Amino acid sequence: MNFSRSTVRPLTRFPFDRPLPRFVPFVKEILRILITRAVVHSGLTTLGRRLFPKRGAVIFYGHRVAADDEGYLEGLRPEWLDDQLAYLTRHYEIIRLSDLLRCFEERRPVPERAAVLTFDDGFRDNLTRALPVLQRHGVTATVFVVTGCAANGALPWPQRLGWLFQRTPRPELVIRLEETGLPPLELPLNTTAARRRACLKVKEFLTRQPRAVRESWLARLSRELEVEPPRDRMLSWKDLRELQVAGWELGAHTVSHPWLARIPFEEARWEMERCRADLREHLGIEHPPFCFPAGSFTPELMRLAKSLGFRSAFQPNPPHRVNTLENSHPFALGRLGLPNAPAVYLEAELDGPLPVVRRLWRRPEASGRRPVDLSLPLPHSPSR
């Protein structure tokens, strides 16, 4: 049994720089399962909820709601989402993101033991699979929309790239990623692990490319790998309006899902400005919350988000898990990933001692960033 997850970090660290023996991940997974179940069934989470109640709001995020890993993006199974929501609605009050932001804006206390649900990118299964599950529990969520995908149906570029490598019939790819004078790379594609490694190598290169160059590369790779990515996996503008009618909220996630900290500042500005304009034009949203793709941001980009009229933004790896008036503000909100596993893992992560153990185990520099100072000026921008 192998549960992938985005919040539960391994409790063990293999201290060598050579590849791990094949049995190590299996042993670590077994230990994780045993520790998690022991934490829950011993009553430690019940005790944690009583002794250390969350005096603020925990914001959760997910992406796809599916039982597969299309495009190398693991989905959260609908039955696990249902299980997790049963736990959250039993022990927490699920509120809308706008309600939380209103607390900050009006300086009203954040409700205790509050939870907010968000989904990134705008996958269509948020409508077809997540919406019915959330409706059964009487709650809503916020979807952060990649507006270019809503317009043309294309997958976000990282999942498009993953789809190409997952589905190609080619046994090898010979490619020159940069003009370095070195021979082309020969990337084997004959095993599942080799395909994923090749995808990651190309992905690292594409994160540093402007949008037009990145799109040109994706078109070329589609031809060379003999794969055509699908165009029916994303929410359309019509779908997004349907979610609005159902009480869901929508936020901004750029036009093309670039890693904003890795591209020129002016192109990052365009991605953010155009995304906000798209949401205004198609959905009537004037001041949406913003979410940085892949958590890629700089303090200058966070200040830019505020200056462009966005209502809020998330800060990756913040020093806090529970958002309160004392430790946060609308542009320093922290989030936790919903684990791709049954609710027992969410319970152990949220209300058990595992986060404390992890903070003691992790290096000091990995313990989170301080909130960005929004009062500093933006970099000088040339006239456009």
What percentage of the chain has pLDDT greater than the value 70? 86
Is it the case that residue 382 has pLDDT exceeding 50?
no
* CA–centroid distance for 176 within its chain: 30
Dihedral of CA atoms 39, 42, 45, 49 in degrees, nearest 10, equals -160
Pair 165, 195: CB distance under 8 Å: yes
Name the token pair of 145: 């929309």
Structure confidence by residue, pLDDT tens digits, 163-217:
999 999 999 999 988 766 678 989 999 999 999 999 999 999 999 999 999 999 9
Q: Which helix (H) or strand (E) holds 145?
A: strand 142-145
Stretch(es) of the chain classified as CATH 3.20.20.370: 53-152+237-340
Q: What is the per-residue pLDDT for 31?
A: 78
User: Could you read off the pLDDT of 19-48 as tens digits, one per residue?
Assistant: 556 666 777 778 777 878 887 888 888 888
DSSP per residue over 20-69, as a string?
PPTHHHHHHHHHHHHHHHHHHHTTHHHHHHHHS---SEEEEEE---SSS-
The CA distances from residue 78 to 39, 82, 145, 301, 326, in Å, are 24, 6, 21, 35, 35
DSSP class of 319? S
Q: Of the candidates 180, 175, 235, 230, which has an alpha carbon nearest to the alpha carbon of residue 203?
A: 175
Work out the pLDDT band at 13, boundaries 50, 70, 90.
very low
pLDDT digits (tens, 9 = 90+) for 95-125: 999 999 999 999 999 999 999 999 999 999 9
Adjacent-strand bridge partners of 57: 114, 323
* Alpha carbon distance 189, 348 (integer Å): 38
Residue 355 makes CB contacts below 8 A (sequence gap 6+) with 321, 349
pTM of the predicted structure, to 2 decimals = 0.88
Measured from the Cβ of residue 375, the count of other Cβ atoms closer than 10 Å reads 6
Residue with tokens 């008036």: 325
Rounded to the nearest integer, the mean pLDDT of the chain is 89
Q: What is the CATH number of domain 53-152+237-340?
A: 3.20.20.370
pLDDT in tens, 327-379: 999 999 999 999 999 999 999 888 888 666 666 666 554 445 667 777 666 66
Structure tokens at 168: 């190609």
At 369 the three-state DSSP class reads: coil
Helical (H) or strand (E) element with 115: strand 114-121
Report CA-CA distances (Å) from 11 to 19, 186, 355: 18, 36, 10
